[in-house]
Amino acid sequence: MQAAKRVASLCAAVFNEMEVLKRQVEARGMKVINLGVGTPDRPPAPHIVQAMHRALDNPQNYRYPLEGMPRLYQAVAGWYRQRFGVQLDPASEVLVLMGSQDGLAHIAMAYIDPGDIALVPDPGYPIYACGIGLAGGEIHPLPLRAENNFLPDLDSIPPDIARRAKLLWINYPNNPVAAVAGLEFFTRVVDFARQYDVLVCHDIAYCELAYDGYRPVSFLQAPGAKEVGIEFYSLSKTYNMAGCRIGFAVGNPAVIEVLARLKSNIDYGVFQVVQEAGIAALTGPQDCVVENARTYQRRRDILVDGLARIGWQMPKPRASMFIWAPLPPGYSDSRQFALELLERTGVIVIPGTAFGSCGQGYVRIAMVQDDGLLEEAVQRISSCYDFTA
């Protein structure tokens, strides 16, 4: 039986390669410290867990949750109003998703036909390009480079490409490069989208993991943003609910309607027990969010300051759960360095090239272990390398 051509390129070779080497390292008796996959390691706050416990006892919550709970849609709109000052109509400008990845993957199916062009960041979160590929679209990469603060240079897009493009992906705070963007950039994006009739999709999953007093902004805060785009948000990182699978898309009502229509033919909605947890997260005490960010900031400092002592210099991110680390002196190949690091120290990081060709020269480090393990990771690397010479 021959698989469809559309799935031929879905397997990311570098991730498989890292997994094979990980098993080999573990077979030698070395405990692996995984700083690769960006999955939260902390639990949800007690009030969120308690809301799920209560909901489990309600037999009504085991029916198909076709339309979603109005209280959750209202909670999303209230959270956006309080956090960003953005007004949303819960009935037409909010769509609850099975995690933001649900929407990130399906929006391309809703808007991209075979041969259509999408503007996709490089490096970028893999689902952006994957979704376009599954829909039969063509990708025009937007290089994210340090000299431009890892923002795409919209002026460098050839006009004939821009006129053919139907969709533009942006993601700030960013995964993998951990960059941030402000309203000035988002305003330029709105102008570009209006000029070329492009749908903007902004992934804002990491907006509450911010440090040193920095407060990320929403794309929808830019004047006219709701006319040209939507924004995807996840409760996974902010509230440590990754396994619950709940997020939402907000913004342009026509786009929300199209995405909702597509999804109504694919799934039956989010388990109502999880929806109750989402309501508790968005409307309940937010001190857990502050503590979460404080924890990641401490982890960032352990890694960046500790590795700087052996000459591996990397910028401290202002937001996200990742460090986008330039390769240390003496190395130029991301894959080679990541494999060597795992082999010698048992510490997993992801080669930057896993996220696009412009990731060459970098590795992504996920801050997803507790302080003690991060300190051990620094100690292991320090005992095997000295980049100060």
Domain boundaries, the chain: 5-43+288-384, 46-283
- For the segment(s) 46-283, the CATH number from 3.40.430.10, 3.40.449.10, 3.40.50.720, 3.40.640.10 is 3.40.640.10
pLDDT at residue 12 in the model: 66
The domain 5-43+288-384 belongs to what CATH superfamily?
Answer: Aspartate Aminotransferase, domain 1 (3.90.1150.10)
5-43+288-384 against 46-283: fold identical:
no
pLDDT at residue 119 in the model: 98
293-343 pLDDT, tens digit each: 999 999 999 999 999 999 999 999 999 999 999 999 999 999 999 999 999
> Could you give the strand order of the β-sheet that contains 247-251, starting from the edge strand earlier in sequence?
94-97, 247-251, 229-234, 199-203, 165-171, 117-122, 138-143
pLDDT at residue 11 in the model: 63
pLDDT at residue 15 in the model: 75
Q: Within the chain, which residues score under 70 in pLDDT?
A: 9, 11-13
